[in-house]
Amino acid sequence: MKKFNLSLVTGALLASSAAFAQVTAITNATVHTMTDKGVLKDATVLIEDGKIIAINPSSVSADVTIDAQDKILTPGFIGSMNQVGLVEVGAVSRSNDGYDKKASAMFDASTAFNPRSSLIPYARKGGLTQNVVVPRGGESIFSGLSFVTDLSGDFESVTATETALIVRLGAKSSGSRAVSLKQLVDKLEGQQKKLAKKDKKEDKKDEPSKEEQVLTKVLKGELPVITKVSRASDILELLKVKKQFGLNLVLWNAEDAPLVKAQISESKTPVILSAVSNLPSDFDSLHASLETAGELEKAGVKVLLAVGSDSSHNVYQLRFDAGIAVANGMSHDGALKAVTSNVADVFGLDAGKVAKGQRADLVLWSADPFEFSTSIESMWINGEKVNTNDSRQDKLRDRYNTPSDMPRAYTK
Nearest to 278 by CA among 293, 265, 296: 293
Tens digit of each residue's pLDDT (9 = 90 or more) over 292-323: 999 999 999 999 999 975 578 889 999 999 99
For residues 286, 257, 262 and 353, what is the CA-based torsion angle, rounded to 10 degrees?
-150
Burial class of residue 262 in the structure, from the number of CB atoms within 10 Å of its CB (0-12 exposed, 13-18 middle, 19+ buried): exposed
The least confident of 182-196, 276-290, 389-403 is 389-403
- What average pLDDT does the structure give for the chain? 90
Nearest to 223 by CA among 183, 250, 196, 187: 250
The least confident of 133-142, 195-204, 294-303, 336-345 is 195-204
Task: Return the percent helix, strand and coil in the chain, to nearest 5.
Answer: 35, 25, 45
DSSP state of 404: -
pTM of the model: 0.89
**Cα distance between residue 169 and residue 181, in whole Å:** 7
Give percent of the chain above pLDDT 90.
72
Strand 142-150 and strand 158-168: the pairing is antiparallel
The residues, any chain, with a CB within 8 Å of residue 68's CB and separated by 6 or more, are: 26, 27, 28, 29, 30, 364, 377
DSSP state of 98: S
**Cα distance between residue 97 and residue 91, in whole Å:** 12
**Cα distance between residue 284 and residue 232, in whole Å:** 8
Is residue 257 within 8 Å of residue 264, measured between CB atoms?
yes
The least confident of 36-40, 93-97, 116-120, 231-235 is 93-97
Length of the chain: 412
Tens digit of each residue's pLDDT (9 = 90 or more) over 135-183: 988 889 999 999 999 999 999 999 999 999 999 998 888 889 999 999 9
Amino acid at 139: E
282 vs 271, higher pLDDT: 271
Amino acid at 103: A
The mean per-residue pLDDT over the stretch 54-62 comes to: 91
17: confidence class by pLDDT, cuts 50, 70, 90: very low
CA angle 376, 380, 382 (to 5 degrees): 155
For residue 136, what are the β-bridge partners?
A: none
